[in-house]
Chain A
């Protein structure tokens, strides 16, 4: 996993609750056997006016210029501002793959769905959970200022610009994995002996599960 580094970016406001993983990456694009290339079809039903029902991945699409991601100023945005229960629905890891492949590195919301959260952190996508009131303030700022820029510093757990500084909470282990770009499987395999010991006792107790 790539190490997470501090950066500054314009914030893209996606003003909707319950954005589900079917919306983030529709099912017709889940047929790939790779981890890359999903960015083109991020929010496909909303980003394009024509439908790619077969999931062919063709490039000659009719852009929906009303959709927020297609506004010129947000093209290089790395921060998505969202609302409660972002990432609900299916367990498809293609959702964080698509967000990352598109260029987002951080999503800020008042809450995220459980499976989406775990999938995101395992791929280096930082989810920042903030109080509903702060989310409201940030949405207001994106509307009024039309170009809200924020810096993200994971080490100090801060989101900031010249006007505001917001502290955020993050699980210690997740933070360490993101900053050091750790391979979680490698870490668990260092405990192989403990797992083997566990299995010996376990299968003695529940022999029908062998």
Chain B
């Protein structure tokens, strides 16, 4: 009896060393400009070549601007990094490349699934912690550092130790107006940001099966925020339907045998996990983070906790430090917190379903005059194109949002899209660390629905009263 994780591990096991490590074969290697230059440099210094260039899919996403693309990249240091990626791609003869400015460019974790470069049963790695996203397709997908990027380029393998396994079973269904982002923030609130350290997490249960592939990607994406490198969801008909007929999907002749194999990518009925956690789906309400760690989260009808509700001494210290940074008072109502900037985007929530959801709200109401800026950044060229085909961009623009070019943007603010010191954001991204969206900026993590409702109200707002989402 095997778990999905066991199956993926075993099918990629090249060798086991007596020192307790294993060599694991890597199917798909996603590359971007920030974590790859030193890896390519390492290859050059040691006179090594990539093992299998076809496994690589590369794009520039972290540093790229989201407006005025025709002006190129203004920041000279960012430009060097993006140019260096261009040079390395040419030098090492990598074919699968979506450069800055091209039609298919986008956030690496959006374009992987979108092009069929991410397929069930694969091992997928990238020098980016949010590689866990791809686990939504029944893949073993995890983030690696630059030394490991170099290792995969040179050997097509990684030296790994098998993780422990955890099952998070979401019992029952999510309520109306509660989304994948709320679910995963709630889970992180329950298990904590170190709750998954050392584990690969498989999500299961009715509420997970109910989710679209976009929703599943959102959940797996934030698995790293719970400390686990990899999040997994079993393959079902939705998975198979999604991956068919994409640029890198199997050809028609191979599709049937691929599907036959993909259908085996689930945990056997009596398999056991090292740890099992149950979450009650209909307990969950829309979520808003109030602190500087994703585990510092409340329901929309909740409050910022008070000091006496925090148990341990070191947590009390970090609680006070977080509230000080966020400029919030203990006991403040979440719905009373005013917001300056709204960001809808990132590898967590920039797919077409996310944009459709936000548009449902902007269709009816305009951005509040108390909001300094509301920006909508599609995850990729094709997401942008689809949104424009559906007229979503017009809804955003008419409501008072800015409609931008694809990229990582304000999730981490390596380009011009940053919070100013003291500004407060409602953001659909994944990290609310100090300074994450700009030095001194204050981030609240929310779903696309909450981000849009907050843009309209000027403060966090329980949209369930007015919108039937």
> Knowing A45-B435, A195-B14, A209-B122 touch, does A91 contact B128 (C-beta < 8 A)?
yes
Complexed CA–CA distance, A202 and B75 (Å) = 44
Residue B278 at the chain A interface, CB threshold 8 Å: no
Collect the chain B residues with CB atoms within 8 Å of residue A15's CB.
314, 317
User: Which residue in chain B gives the minimum CB-CB distance to A112?
Assistant: B197
Collect the chain B residues with CB atoms within 8 Å of residue A206's CB.
121, 258, 261
> Knowing A28-B414, A51-B439 touch, does A173 contact B17 (C-beta < 8 A)?
yes
Collect the chain A residues with CB atoms within 8 Å of residue B194's CB.
18, 84-85, 88, 111, 113
Tell me whether A115 and B197 are in contact (CB under 8 A): no
Q: In chain B, residues 131-148, which have Cβ atoms closer than 8 Å to a Cβ of chain A?
A: 131, 142-148
Please tell me which stretch of A4-12, A59-67, A117-125 contacts chain B, meaning at least 4 of its Cβ atoms lie within 8 angstroms of it. A117-125
> Knowing A195-B156, A208-B251, A209-B119 touch, does A27 contact B412 (C-beta < 8 A)?
yes
Collect the chain B residues with CB atoms within 8 Å of residue A23's CB.
433-435
Residue B34 at the chain A interface, CB threshold 8 Å: yes
Tell me whether B155 and A195 are in contact (CB under 8 A): yes
Residue A158 at the chain B interface, CB threshold 8 Å: no
Tell me whether B121 and A191 are in contact (CB under 8 A): no
Least Cβ–Cβ distance between B220 and chain A, in angstroms: 15
Least Cβ–Cβ distance between B434 and chain A, in angstroms: 6
Tell me whether B129 and A115 are in contact (CB under 8 A): yes
0 or 1 for each of A72-85: is its CB under 8 Å from B? (1 = yes): 00000000000111
Collect the chain B residues with CB atoms within 8 Å of residue A172's CB.
19-20
Tell me whether A113 and B197 are in contact (CB under 8 A): yes
Collect the chain B residues with CB atoms within 8 Å of residue A188's CB.
23, 151, 154-155, 157, 159
> Knowing A85-B197, A93-B145 touch, does A195 contact B421 (C-beta < 8 A)?
no
0 or 1 for each of B193-222: is its CB under 8 Å from A? (1 = yes): 110011000000000000000000000000
0 or 1 for each of B227-249: is its CB under 8 Å from A? (1 = yes): 11100000000000000000000
User: Which residue in chain B gives the minimum CB-CB distance to A84?
Assistant: B194
Tell me whether A202 and B227 are in contact (CB under 8 A): no
Complexed CA–CA distance, A208 and B121 (Å) = 12
Q: In chain B, residues 100-153, which have Cβ atoms closer than 8 Å to a Cβ of chain A?
A: 119, 121-122, 127-129, 131, 142-148, 150-151
Collect the chain B residues with CB atoms within 8 Å of residue A164's CB.
none
Complexed CA–CA distance, A171 and B159 (Å) = 13
> Knowing A90-B129, A209-B122 touch, does A85 contact B439 (C-beta < 8 A)?
no
Tell me whether B81 and A189 are in contact (CB under 8 A): no
**Dominant secondary structure of chain B at its interface with chain A:** loop
Least Cβ–Cβ distance between B113 and chain A, in angstroms: 16
User: Which residue in chain A gives the minimum CB-CB distance to B121?
Assistant: A206
0 or 1 for each of B158-180: is its CB under 8 Å from A? (1 = yes): 01010000000000000000000
A173 contact from B20, B127, B146, Cβ within 8 A: B20
Least Cβ–Cβ distance between A7 and chain B, in angstroms: 23
Complexed CA–CA distance, A55 and B194 (Å) = 30
B37 contact from A33, A89, A173, A194, Cβ within 8 A: A33
Residue A180 at the chain B interface, CB threshold 8 Å: no
A20 contact from B41, B75, B433, Cβ within 8 A: B433
Least Cβ–Cβ distance between B86 and chain A, in angstroms: 12
User: Which residue in chain B gives the minimum CB-CB distance to A52?
Assistant: B439
> Knowing A31-B77, A53-B438, A189-B155 touch, does A194 contact B41 (C-beta < 8 A)?
no
Complexed CA–CA distance, A172 and B19 (Å) = 7
Least Cβ–Cβ distance between B45 and chain A, in angstroms: 11
0 or 1 for each of A183-200: is its CB under 8 Å from B? (1 = yes): 011011101101100110
0 or 1 for each of A165-191: is its CB under 8 Å from B? (1 = yes): 000000111001000000011011101
Q: In chain B, residues 40-82, which have Cβ atoms closer than 8 Å to a Cβ of chain A?
A: 41-42, 46, 48, 51, 54, 62-63, 75, 77-78, 80-81
Q: In chain B, residues 246-295, which have Cβ atoms closer than 8 Å to a Cβ of chain A?
A: 250-251, 254-255, 257-258, 261, 293
Least Cβ–Cβ distance between A100 and chain B, in angstroms: 13
Complexed CA–CA distance, A26 and B314 (Å) = 24
Tell me whether B197 and A35 are in contact (CB under 8 A): no
0 or 1 for each of A93-134: is its CB under 8 Å from B? (1 = yes): 100100000000000000101110011001100000000000
Collect the chain A residues with CB atoms within 8 Å of residue B20's CB.
171-173
A185 contact from B46, B197, B229, Cβ within 8 A: B46
Residue B335 at the chain A interface, CB threshold 8 Å: no
Tell me whether A114 and B433 are in contact (CB under 8 A): no
Residue B306 at the chain A interface, CB threshold 8 Å: no
Least Cβ–Cβ distance between A63 and chain B, in angstroms: 16
Collect the chain B residues with CB atoms within 8 Å of residue A111's CB.
194, 197
Residue B405 at the chain A interface, CB threshold 8 Å: no
The 10 A-B pairs with the shortest beta carbon distances in the complex, nearest first, are A208-B250, A119-B145, A93-B145, A33-B37, A122-B147, A85-B194, A91-B143, A91-B129, A173-B19, A93-B146
Q: Could you show 6 A-B contacts with beta carbons less than 8 Å apart? A: A28-B413, A30-B34, A32-B77, A93-B145, A96-B145, A185-B48
Contacts A31-B81, A119-B147, A188-B157 known; list 19 others, CB within 8 Å: A15-B314, A15-B317, A22-B433, A22-B435, A30-B62, A31-B78, A33-B38, A53-B438, A91-B128, A91-B143, A91-B144, A92-B35, A113-B227, A115-B229, A119-B145, A172-B19, A195-B156, A199-B156, A206-B258
B-side interface residues toward A, CB under 8 Å? 14-15, 17, 19-21, 23, 25, 27, 34-35, 37-38, 41-42, 46, 48, 51, 54, 62-63, 75, 77-78, 80-81, 84, 119, 121-122, 127-129, 131, 142-148, 150-151, 154-157, 159, 161, 193-194, 197-198, 224, 227-229, 250-251, 254-255, 257-258, 261, 293, 314-315, 317-318, 321, 412-414, 418, 421, 431, 433-436, 438-440
